[in-house]
């Protein structure tokens, strides 16, 4: 049973573990908590209640006036292809809309077609690329926007 809730300080270590499983250049535990503790940020966690409330995914978002910028989206590889990422993003969209956000942006590795397809299914559209945005390996980022929340 997957449930969702906002990140709290005690979650930083478990979020960092998911990050390390998902990305070649992971953020540190301190980076997560510094980012998530900012009043202009919101981090939503996916929790597996049947596995001792294990954190299996997260999404982070900066909220700046009426726009949001999704900073991180990750689902533990053992939990992928179960719709968790989609459900987590839908929940985040509802939360930021309540905070007055009318448009969201994010970047995705240009080669990460599963993520790009997920975002397109949620109304995001590509508006261009940022060359050499990612490292390890070096790759462009697809810049995506959803301006119709």
**For residue 79, how far is the Cα from the chain centroid?**
15
Catalytic residue among 107, 133, 134, 139: 107
H helices of the chain, where? Answer: 12-22, 29-36, 84-98, 113-121
Tokens of 57: 């995914």
Catalytic residue among 119, 120, 139, 142: 119
Is residue 107 flagged as an active site residue? Answer: yes
Is residue 79 flagged as an active site residue? Answer: no
Q: What is the Cα–Cα distance from 98 to 61, expressed in whole angstroms? A: 14
DSSP structure class, residue 142: E
Residues forming the active site = 107, 119
């Amino acid at each position: 049973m997957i449930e969702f809730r906002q990140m709290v300080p005690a979650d930083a270590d478990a979020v960092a573990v998911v990050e390390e499983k998902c990305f070649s250049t992971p953020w540190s535990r301190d980076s997560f908590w510094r980012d998530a503790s900012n009043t202009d940020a919101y981090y939503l966690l996916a929790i597996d209640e049947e596995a001792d409330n294990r954190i299996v995914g997260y999404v982070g978002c900066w909220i700046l006036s009426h726009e949001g910028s999704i900073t991180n989206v990750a689902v533990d590889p053992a939990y992928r292809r179960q719709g968790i990422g989609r459900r987590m993003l839908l929940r985040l969209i509802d939360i930021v809309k309540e905070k007055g956000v009318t448009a969201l942006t994010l970047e995705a590795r240009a080669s990460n077609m599963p993520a790009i397809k997920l975002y397109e299914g949620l109304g995001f559209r590509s508006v261009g690329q940022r060359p050499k945005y990612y490292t390890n390996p070096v790759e462009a980022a697809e810049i995506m926007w959803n301006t119709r929340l």
